[in-house]
Amino acid sequence: MSDLLQLVSFFDTTSLEEMSRAKLLNRVDTKYIVTPAVLVKALSKHIDDYEVLAVNNKVNLAYNTIYFDTDDLAMYKEHHNGKNHRYKVRYRQYEETGDKFIEVKEKIKNRTAKQRLRIDRFTYPIAKGLECLVNDCTPYDPKQLEPKLTTKFNRITLVNKKACERITIDLDINFSNEGSETYSLGNCAIIEIKRDKEDVYSAFARTLKNQGVLPLSISKYCLGTIALNNKVKYNRFKPRLRKVERLIAQEDRQLAMVV
């Protein structure tokens, strides 16, 4: 982690105001999961290509996300079953600014669209004044949605200086459920490359590919649900889950050698 933060300190910075000019609320996403060493090696080649988001002089920003689903986990099942049109409903808080939102993510094939409303506080169940977003943007009844998973992590956001591309790097990822069970990804990072079009060239994606890192399509919601709920079906995710577990074990071994 210290090596990554030291590297990021060499990047030019950008602000929330500047970044909001290209919100990328309708986009194409590509995800990866990597160890810190791989991440630092890849990023070191792109110091001049990206700016890093800084809020109150911090670049490693804390996020708190609460995912909703039906009692029988219909949204999780849609993802697991490979449905091309699926949804996520969540609360999200940006710890540094205190901003809170209710968000709906809609995935249609390879495109992701996000709608959101600013809120004052998290309410359970979803407050009546906020039900309109769920009603308008999903086929779900907001009264049937329950908080199922909490995800806390720190995020570094990079903005391409020349293209409509953003990279998020999620670190210190921890999951908990309504039963207070927890699961951590340790030092592994989830990278997401966000572009307005699939054919927008990403030099960083090319660097990852050259290092043998291939995309790994799995959401934090699904990953946390699998880790904390031994009753859910996850056959389709098994190869990806095994890769995540191998990376965590690899990083744990390296840390043990250092200690």
Average pLDDT on 156-164 reads 91
Q: Residue with structure tokens 């699939």?
A: 198
Please give the torsion angle defined by the CA atoms of residues 33, 182, 62 and 238, in that order, rounded to the nearest 10 degrees.
20
pLDDT, position 259:
43
Indicate whether 255 pLDDT > 80. no
Compute the mean pLDDT over every residue in the chain, rounded to the nearest whole number: 91
Average pLDDT on 223-244 reads 92
Rounded percentage of the chain residues whose pLDDT exceeds 70:
93
> What is the rounded distance in angstroms from the CA atom of residue 84 to the CA atom of residue 62?
31
Average pLDDT on 225-242 reads 92
pLDDT tens for each residue of 203-230: 999 999 999 999 998 899 999 999 999 9
Domain spanning 2-258: which CATH class is it, in words? mainly beta
> What is the rounded distance in angstroms from the CA atom of residue 76 to the CA atom of residue 150?
14
Average pLDDT on 109-132 reads 90
> What is the rounded distance in angstroms from the CA atom of residue 177 to the CA atom of residue 122?
16
Indicate whether 155 pLDDT > 70. yes
